[in-house]
Chain A
Amino acid sequence: METIVYNSFYLQAILFALLAVVLLICALSVFIKPAKRIIRASLVDAKSGHIFDISHAETSIGRSRSCDIVLEDISVSRFHAVLSMRSKSWMIFDTNSTGGVFVNGKRIDKKQDLKDGDRIKFGNTLEYIFYSTAVTTRKKKKTPVYNYREDFDDSDIDYNPRPSNSGYNSSYKNNINDTDENLDFKDFS
């Protein structure tokens, strides 16, 4: 009868250990640890200056409370539009709304590319100016009432300037006025 020579116990244990190192480290590194919030674009109320910060790559806009941006106007449909970040530009989609979506005064067909400074109107609402970056204003920013799907908690937001050595803040500093005490901004360092 043929005798089977089994591999060394230690060799098998080493093989398992190597595989465990590879698989467990890689599996655990799949979990992302992002910062709390990132502002990708902004919608600014043309009249009041109220800012809607866009932090998702796809943002739903409508009268429904489940939308990311809730507009309480009867001319706004429950699921009125979607603001979407595509590979080449930001786009606004009219998702079968009744009142329509207007960009720079013209009603869009189904979708429209957006660029900085475009004025968007949902139904008969006020105009909103689109910016493809985060913005601040000289006015004190009011706490947004309906802005995000998640509950908005600004208790951890620092409204005062803070020096930082990170590469992001070094370019960020060029855009702020340190001497203006009325400025509100958020430091995500």
Chain B
Amino acid sequence: METTKNTRMYFGRPGNFYGFITFVVMIALTAYQIIMSYLVLKQEKDDFAKLLIFFVSYMFIEWIYFIVVGVIKNRQISLEIIAFALSSISLFITASINPSSALTQFASIVLGLFVFIFMIEFMKDTTRTSFMRMPMALAALGLLAITILLASYKNGAKNWIYIGGVSIQPSEFAKIAFVYVGAATLDKLQSTRSLTMYVLFAVACVGLLGLMSDFGAALIYFATFIIMAFMRSGDFRTIIMVCAAALIGGIIILTMRPYILTRFKTYRHIWEYIDEGGFQQTRSLIYAASGGFFGVGIGNGYLRDVFAASEDLVFCLVCEELGMLTGFLILITIALMALGTAYNARYSRSSFFTIASCAAAGMIIVQTSLNVFGVTDFIPMTGVTLPFISQGGSSMISCWGLLAFIKAADARTYGLSLSHTKERRQLR
């Protein structure tokens, strides 16, 4: 089968251009993290030693990954570097606002990295990957069902489970399973061209999320379902019918449970309820603008004192403390990552990875849009996190898991050659 010799070489020979660029990028990232570490640590006297250990360990893990995967295994690690950079911003923000949560955030980043590595290795075998679709479907439904049974209401939604003092949001992990189930190899797509089973599965997931009152997550799942349904079948008629059914279902639910609408009463009226329902969004808009191009500096913002600043309002917090340009840079990076996924999907070694990567990228884009547009009052706030940036262990692990699908679709990940026929045999 294909060997690694045909992949783009990064450190295969001295003076390799791509390898040099990757090394320069790692140096720049480390310099950024060293400066940010200094700025955070100089404001933290009580937790100085603990935070220093976290920051140094994090940079150490990055370099170990770079050396092992980028240099020794000779793989491209651009996606991982993006994830490391964005995750480090979340670590610095969390450490700055709430040092006691820095351990959880650091642990969740490390755990997310392990999930990423495990998924990449697991999906190396397409047959095994395809075989696990049914267990993953059961896992997704099981996670959501457990949440309904065991979770308690928090901030209007029933999506948190507490185990040993640690809060877990199973619907975040179910995202990985949801994408996994929706993707399929070409032989499966050609054998079973009907979408019925997948539609039923998606309806069950979205319905369970609706029962949890987690409408933000339900919207993300629904959008991902549309992407995957289109990629699997290309059947516009079915998709339009499903969207129409979803709209009718939503209207019926709102008719039966009108109190749901009260959650959105401040939408487009945040300045009228400036000290009530619109408190978070008005402060977010004011402080985000006050940051200017380059921000007031980490730890110097006012928005950090507002509830959920490092979770739902993190985009505006980044704009205030790190600058509006940094905020938009993050959005552009996520958008380019999604575009790159769509562009690379055609070269993937299986339609499973093509569909999964596009779905994962779509999920990240939708989640980013819901967070940014919600906090800026373009749409009602739905309480979803900003991928890789928001504080939250479950969200961080889920983002790394989705990144694994994007990485797996890149043909270079598994040594699949992209140029030149390996050998040409002459028939006599």
Contacts and interface: CB of A to CB of B under 8 A. Distances in A.
A25 B322 contact: no
B276 interface: no
B328 to A, nearest CB: 10
Interface string A7-30: 101011111101111111111111
Contact of A175 (B1, B322, B411, B424): B424
Interface string B256-293: 00000000000000000000000000000000000001
Interface in B304-340: 322-323, 325-326, 329-330, 332-333, 336-337, 339-340
B157 interface: no
B25 interface: yes
Nearest to A67: B190
Interface string B1-42: 110001000000000001001000100110110011001000
Interface in A16-75: 16, 18-32, 34-35, 38-40, 44, 49, 57-58, 60, 62
Contacts of A166: 420
B356 to A, nearest CB: 14
B417 A38 contact: yes
Contacts of B186: 58, 60, 82, 84
Contacts of A40: 2, 421-422
A166 B28 CA distance: 34
Interface string A162-189: 0000101001100111000001011011
B294 A13 contact: yes
Interface in A124-144: 131, 133-138
A18 B28 contact: yes
A87 interface: yes
B25 A134 contact: no
A152 to B, nearest CB: 16
A26 B79 contact: yes
Nearest to B414: A87
Contact of B329 (A20, A111, A134, A183): A20
Contacts of B293: 16
Interface stretch (B123-131, B195-203, B220-228, B371-379): B123-131
Nearest to A21: B28
Contact of B412 (A32, A85, A87, A176): A32
B329 A14 contact: no
Contacts of A183: 426
A25 B25 contact: yes
Nearest to B422: A133
B78 A30 contact: yes
A59 to B, nearest CB: 8
B78 A29 contact: yes
B233 interface: no
A89 B127 CA distance: 11
A23 B343 contact: no
B418 A35 contact: yes
Contacts of A82: 185-187, 190
B426 A15 contact: no
Given A27-B336, A171-B423, A138 B428 contact: yes
A159 B340 CA distance: 33
Nearest to A4: B300
Contact of B426 (A28, A135, A188): A135
A34 B419 CA distance: 6
A38 B39 CA distance: 51
A12 B294 contact: yes
A7 B297 contact: yes
16 contacts: A6-B296, A9-B294, A15-B36, A18-B32, A23-B82, A23-B329, A30-B340, A40-B422, A57-B349, A62-B190, A82-B185, A88-B1, A89-B1, A168-B420, A175-B424, A189-B420
Given A22-B82, A23-B329, A188-B419, 18 more contacts: A7-B295, A13-B294, A15-B36, A15-B326, A26-B81, A29-B76, A32-B410, A49-B427, A58-B351, A85-B1, A87-B124, A87-B414, A93-B191, A168-B420, A168-B421, A175-B425, A176-B426, A185-B424
